[in-house]
Each structure stands twice: as structure tokens, then as C-alpha cells.
């Protein structure tokens, strides 16, 4: 049985066999660390399925784990792999009680939710244990649910804007766009950056698909890139630099009166008109400022939660 079917049948599933050439141990449900006898790189964390309806990257991660167990993929750096929201994955739902990727700084709002808060705690604990191997790289793999002018992009939470990305890293994984954000978000990648000094990314890839719906070119690029990373292979020298955006501000939904004045189907990275009314939550109103583009608009979030992010392109050479 492969790892994904095993986990969907039983959250306590173990790997069918240890990964050859590595010490492997489970450190939480659906989370394993794999320590190669001969390591040639810094620690690597790969996570998928934080949102249970974003299944393409989950299948890619499961294929890589299966390939490692079969001895086809040879890990050459300490590797932690984690399947995020097992309960939601089983039901094909984004989450059960609240968005897991808003729970890494405790419950997002009063009266919330125990399943996802407990899971965020378990993932954070596993990361803290693994982080004892030193600073490394974390990729949290998602697939965005909305149309996007850039179908694939990476969000990097970083305390030092302008730090960019390791050369070749994003191109290796087929991700041509980088969004730099702060480290305060209650997400898994921001936690890795903030608490462990990791170079951490949330990858948003393609569209949500049902489990088993087959592969896409976009996911093939991801699979090949992750394979190289796990084997500690160098990125190709010719890799292009990503196009960079930076988060300028976020608009929080304060109350149930919140109204978003951009179309529900507006794509990510849509350039906005300066002065355009974006949202209101009486008595406050928000207007677009020069150069701002839309990211993740969603009025259907809980009060106290981010309803839209505004980003601005960074001219190459600027900091």
C-alpha cells in the first residue's frame, strides 16, 4: 500500500518500510523525519495537505515518499515530510472547523475549533524537533483555488525584505513568481521563518483537483524540482530569477458587515485602479493605492481574519 492510501485509511499509519540508507522515524501522525547516513545538504521540510482540498501537491509528495521507500529516490539531506490536515484530506474538504493555516499562532478567534488548533500544535512540535538539525529550507505546498494571472507563485515570509530566494530554487520547481511577506502570519511557513530562521515558502500551484485526477505539467515540474532538492542536487546554473512582488498591506474583516468591492472571480495579481474602493466595514473604507495588485480576496472569512492582501511589484534592482 502506498503512503497516501495508508494515511487516508488510518492517521496512525506507518511507512511500509524504512527509507534505504536513512534512519527514519515518525515524529507525529503523518510526519516523518528521514536522516541519511551520508548527508550532503542542509535540512529540508516538505509539507502538503494543510488544506484538505488541495490534493495535487499531496499526491506529488506521496509519490516522492513512495519512491524513497522503494530506493529510487536517494535522500542526501535531513528531510522532514508532513501531510497536513489528514482529517480534512479524507473528506476532500479545505478544513473541518477552521483554516489550519491560520492556527499556527493559536486559535484564530474565540470559540474556535479544536481539530485544526491541535493539528497546528502537532506540526509545530514536529518542526521544533526537526529544527534541532539546524537551519534549513521549508516548502509548504498548496494549490490555489482561484484564477491567477500568475498560475504558480511562492510566498516567502521573511524578516528581511529584499532577501529574494536562493538562486535557482524557484525555477527548479517551476515557480516563476516570488511574493515577499512579513513573518507575523499564522501560517506554517511563517512559523518556520520566525521561530527557526528557516528559508520558508508557501507554494501556490495550479488549481484544486480531486485526488487521483492525474498529473499536470505544472506538477511534473514540481515533482522533478523536489526530487533534485531531496537528493541535494545543485539547481541548473541557467535558472531564471523570479519576478518579485512584495506585500504592502492586508485588509482584515472586522465584522459581519464587511463588504468586498472587487468581483468574486477577480484573479490573483489583478492590477487595481488607484483610488478604487476595495472594501468597507462601516465606518471604515479602503481604497487602492498606486501600483497595488490583488491577492487572495475572500469576504467569506471569519471576522478578525484577513480578507484580502495587497501586493506591489518590485522593480528588478530595487530593494
Residues carrying an active site annotation: 204
Among 29, 31, 32, 51, binds Zn ion (CB under 5 A): 51
**Nearest approach, Cβ of 3 to Zn ion (angstroms)?**
20
Cα(25)–Cα(313) distance, integer angstroms = 42
Contact track, Zn ion, 52-71, x by CB under 5 A? --x-----------------
Rounded to a whole number, what is the distance in angstroms from the first to the last CA of the chain?
A: 49
State how far the alpha carbon of 153 is from the alpha carbons of 22, 82, 85, 156, 307, in Å. 32, 21, 22, 10, 19
Burial status of residue 221 (CB atoms within 10 A of its CB: 0-12, 13-18, 19 or more): middle
Q: Which is nearer to Zn ion, 22 or 103 (CB)?
A: 103
Quickly tell me which residue has 502537532 as its cell.
122
**CB-wise, 51 or 253, nearer to Zn ion?**
51
Q: Are strands 259-260 and 199-204 parallel, antiparallel or unpaired?
A: unpaired
**Which grid coordinates are listed for 176?**
516563476
**Residue span binding Zn ion (CB under 5 A) among the ranges 45-53, 68-76, 128-136, 248-256:** 45-53
102 binds Zn ion per the rule CB under 5 A? no
Q: In angstroms, what is the minimal distance from the CB of 143 to Zn ion?
A: 7
Nearer to Zn ion, 68 or 226 (CB): 226
Closest approach of Cβ 140 to Zn ion, in Å? 8
The residue of the chain with the least Cβ separation from Zn ion equals 142
Task: Considering only the stretches 75-83, 125-133, 134-142, 180-188, report the one whose residues sit in contact with Zn ion under the rule CB under 5 A.
Answer: 134-142
Burial of residue 87, with CB atoms counted within 10 A of its CB: 0-12 exposed, 13-18 middle, 19 or more buried: middle
Q: Quick check: helix, strand or coil at residue 31? A: strand
- Figure out which of the listed residues 142, 150, 194, 223 binds Zn ion, where binding follows CB under 5 A: 142
Where does this chain touch Zn ion (CB under 5 A) — which range of 44-52, 57-65, 67-75, 280-288? 44-52
- Contacts with Zn ion by CB under 5 A lie at 51, 54, 142
Amino acid at each position: 500500500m502506498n503512503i497516501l492510501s495508508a494515511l487516508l485509511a488510518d492517521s496512525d499509519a506507518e511507512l511500509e518500510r524504512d527509507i534505504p540508507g536513512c534512519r527514519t522515524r515518525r515524529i507525529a501522525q503523518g510526519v516523518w523525519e528521514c536522516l541519511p547516513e551520508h548527508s550532503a545538504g542542509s535540512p529540508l521540510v516538505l509539507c502538503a495537505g494543510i488544506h484538505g482540498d488541495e490534493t495535487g501537491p499531496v499526491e506529488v509528495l506521496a509519490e516522492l515518499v513512495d519512491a524513497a521507500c522503494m530506493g529510487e529516490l536517494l535522500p542526501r539531506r535531513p528531510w522532514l515530510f508532513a501531510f497536513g490536515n489528514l482529517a480534512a484530506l479524507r473528506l476532500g474538504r479545505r478544513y473541518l472547523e477552521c483554516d489550519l493555516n491560520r492556527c499556527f499562532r493559536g486559535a484564530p478567534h474565540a470559540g474556535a475549533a479544536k481539530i485544526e488548533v491541535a493539528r497546528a500544535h502537532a506540526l509545530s512540535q514536529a518542526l521544533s524537533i526537526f529544527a534541532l538539525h539546524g537551519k534549513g529550507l521549508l516548502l509548504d505546498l498548496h494549490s490555489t483555488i482561484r484564477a491567477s494571472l500568475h498560475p504558480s507563485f511562492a510566498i516567502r515570509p521573511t524578516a528581511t525584505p529584499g532577501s529574494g530566494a536562493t538562486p535557482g530554487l524557484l525555477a527548479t520547481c517551476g515557480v516563476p513568481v516570488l511574493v515577499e511577506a512579513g513573518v507575523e502570519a499564522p501560517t506554517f511557513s511563517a512559523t518556520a521563518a520566525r521561530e527557526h530562521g528557516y528559508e520558508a515558502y508557501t507554494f501556490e500551484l495550479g488549481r484544486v483537483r480531486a485526488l487521483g485526477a492525474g498529473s499536470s505539467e505544472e506538477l511534473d515540474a514540481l515533482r522533478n524540482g523536489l526530487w533534485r532538492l531531496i537528493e541535494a542536487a545543485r539547481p541548473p546554473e541557467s535558472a531564471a530569477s523570479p519576478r518579485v512582488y512584495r506585500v504592502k498591506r492586508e485588509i482584515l474583516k472586522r465584522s459581519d458587515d464587511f463588504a468586498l468591492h472587487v468581483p468574486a472571480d477577480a484573479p490573483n495579481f489583478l492590477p487595481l485602479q488607484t483610488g478604487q474602493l476595495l472594501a468597507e466595514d462601516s465606518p471604515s473604507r479602503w481604497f487602492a493605492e498606486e501600483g497595488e495588485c490583488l491577492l487572495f480576496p475572500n469576504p467569506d472569512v471569519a471576522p478578525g481574519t484577513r480578507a484580502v492582501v495587497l501586493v506591489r511589484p518590485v522593480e528588478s534592482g530595487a530593494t
